[in-house]
Amino acid sequence: MRNFPLRRLLLALLLVAAQLPALQAQQKRLTMADAFLNRSLQPENLRQLSWIPGSKDEYSYVRTTNGQDELVRGSNGTATAVFSLAELGQTLQAAGAPTVKASAFPTVTWMSPQQALLMRAGKVYRVDVASKQATALFGYDQAAENVEMDPTHTRVAFTKDQNLYVSLAGRENEAVTQETNPAIVNGQAAHRSEFGITKGTFWSPTGSRLAYYRMDQAMVTDYLLVDVSATPAQAKPFKYPMAGDKSHEVTVGVYDLNTRKTVFLQTGEPKEQYLTNISWSPDEKSIFVAVLNRGQNQMQLRQYDATTGAFVKTLFEEKSDKDFVEPLHPLEFVPGRPDQFLWRSQRDGYEHIYLYSTSGKLLRQLTKGPWQVTDVLGFADNNREVVFQSTAASPLQRRVYAVKLSGGKLREITRETGTHTATLSPSGRQLLDVFSSTSTPRIIRTVSVADGKTAQTLLTAPNPVAEYQLGETKMVTLKAADGQTDLYGRLITPPNFDPAKKYPTVVYLYGGPHVQLVTDSWLGGANLWMQLMAQKGYVVFTVDSRGSGNRGSAFERATFRQLGTVEMQDQLKGVDYLKSLPYVDATRIGIHGWSFGGFMTTTLMTRSPGTFKVGVGGGPVIDWRMYEIMYTERYMDTPQENPDGYAQANLLNHVDKLQGKLLLIHGTIDDVVVWQHSLDYLKTAVDKGVQLDYFVYPGHPHNVGGKDRVHLYQKITDYFDDKL
- Catalytic site positions: 595, 670, 702
What angle, 0 to 180 degrees and rounded to 10, lies between the N-to-C axes of helices 565-580 and 596-607?
Answer: 70
Q: Find the helix or strand (DSSP H, E) in which 633 lies.
A: helix 629-636
CA 437 to chain centre: 19
Q: How far apart are CA 550 and CA 322, in angstroms?
A: 19
Decide if 722 contacts 693 (C-beta within 8 A): no
CA dihedral over 316, 555, 330, 292, signed as positive or negative: positive
Q: How far apart are CA 204 and CA 212, in angstroms?
A: 11
Residue 646 phi/psi, 5° resolution? -65, -40
DSSP state of 625: G
Q: How far apart are CA 186 and CA 175, in angstroms?
A: 11
Q: How far apart are CA 697 and CA 703, in angstroms?
A: 10
At 9 the three-state DSSP class reads: helix
- CB-side neighbour CA atoms (13 Å) of 56: 2
DSSP letters along 448-459, please? ETTT--EEEEEE
Decide if 626 contacts 233 (C-beta within 8 A): no
Residue 484 phi/psi, 5° resolution? -125, -40
Q: How far apart are CA 366 and CA 408, in angstroms?
A: 8
Please state, in angstroms and as integers, the Cα–Cα distance from residue 709 to each residue in 33, 36, 352, 666, 704, following that order.
Answer: 9, 7, 38, 13, 5
Nearest by Cα to 635 from 557, 545, 564: 557
Burial class (CB in 10 A: 0-12, 13-18, 19+), 372: buried
DSSP state of 242: B
Q: How far apart are CA 710 and CA 78, in angstroms?
A: 41
Diameter of the chain measured on Cα atoms: 104
- CB-side neighbour CA atoms (13 Å) of 393: 19
Decide if 286 contacts 242 (C-beta within 8 A): no
Residue 449 phi/psi, 5° resolution? -70, -35
Nearest by Cα to 208 from 246, 173, 157: 157
What angle, 0 to 180 degrees and rounded to 10, lies between the N-to-C axes of helices 528-535 and 708-723?
Answer: 30
Nearest by Cα to 278 from 331, 224, 351: 331
Q: How far apart are CA 406 and CA 390, in angstroms?
A: 20
Decide if 341 contacts 366 (C-beta within 8 A): no
Q: How far apart are CA 220 and CA 222, in angstroms?
A: 6
